[in-house]
Amino acid sequence: MNFFRRLPSSAFKFLIFALVCLLLLVGLAVKIGNISLFSHRHSIQAQLADVTGLATGDSVNIAGVPIGQVSSIAVQHGHALVGMNIDNTVTLHQDSDLGMRWKNVIGQKEIQIFPSAQGPLITPGSTIPLSHDVSDASVNSFLNTLGPLLSSINPQQANQFVENVSGALEGDTAQVDQLINSGATISNTVGALDSQVGQVIGNLDLVLTAISSRSGDLSSLVDNLQTVASSLASKNTLLDTVIGNLSAVATDLAGLIGSNHSTITSIIDNLRVVAGAVQGNQQQLASSLSTLGAGLAPYIQISAVGQWFAVQAVYTCLGNQTSCTYYESASPPAGSGPGGSLPAARSQAAKSSALNSAAKKVGTTPVAASGIGSVLQAVSGQAPSPGLSAAGARS
């Protein structure tokens, strides 16, 4: 105590200042060197493919929180072996991954551990294998990837491009601001439609999955298209000829239509008149068509039994005669009998059989030689009148 009393006040102030500076220096050293003064740690090792920028004493982090520091860096069989001191309060499993991350812009790196809950615990002295090394997805890797591209750019051309763009945008600041604002509006709109965008992406995923599942069919389709294209290519001359002929046909058709334009117009007008007339008489036409079948039925039945059918009477007979003669016996028709009578080859039995068949179809009694009028009357349900009747020519 007497010693401190003998010291001048200035020396006492200097000692206090020196002690404060020493404490600050120790704190700065602890901070910069990542030194833990009162923590208990254990050592582990990790194999990394590349430790460029890493130094002893660099931080070891989990989710950005320091849990230790790098204690050593060595080479082992072509890769780096990094020793780390980890806090005893931290437990890691063997399935944990680790990698290097940028610490600052001057190139310093640090170890980042990605813990896992799988596998047994890592004991002190254990080594994390190289298979758990996570590549550094940092600015360094990005710049290394862009290295060949950046080296191929001519600085003068790049400067000229920037000057041209700057000159083009000069005086258009308002438009550029409007473009940026529009982009921000679009971004906000798309952000507000997050669920719809997600649904669209989901639908695209389904479509792409379906296409992927039909890869064999798509491959077959592409092969078939290639075959068709090859076939068409091998017949290029023929296709040129066909196209030329089609062009000639189109030219001739155009000329034909042009030269007959008035005729075609007249035909169309006449067809329009006919269509109008048909439409105007639609009811009458429908009524006529509805009764046409009933009117043609007798003629269809007459022609079906093979009778003679003509408008001029060939044979004239009395009602009860069984044989008839031609009215011009001097010039009988070819194939007739003597004096124009029925042919001898056609017996009376055959004639009666044919007439009986026709009579059964029309529901009348058989007659020997009926004419058109009597047959039509029989078909219509009327009794034949006595007297003369006519037979027709063969149908």
d(CA 159, CA 151) in angstroms, rounded, equals 15
Contact 68, 84 (CB under 8 A): yes
Q: What are phi and psi of 89, to 5 degrees?
A: -75, -10
Element (H, E) at 80: strand 79-87
CA 51 vs. chain centroid, Å, equals 50
Q: What is the DSSP string of 19-79?
A: HHHHHHHHHHHHHHTT--SS--EEEEEEEES--TT--TT-EEEETTEEEEEEEEEEEETTE
CB atoms within 10 A of CB 114: 13
Mean pLDDT by runs of 10 across the 395 residues of the chain is: 63 83 83 67 90 86 88 90 91 89 78 88 90 72 71 82 79 81 86 84 89 86 90 86 90 88 90 90 85 74 55 51 59 61 50 45 39 47 42 38
Distance in Å from the first CA to the final CA of the chain: 162
Q: What are phi and psi of 341, to 5 degrees?
A: -75, 175
Q: What are phi and psi of 100, to 5 degrees?
A: -100, 145
Domain residue limits, the chain: 30-140, 198-234, 236-280, 293-390
Instruction: Identify the bridge partners of residue 79 per DSSP, sorted by sequence position.
Output: 76
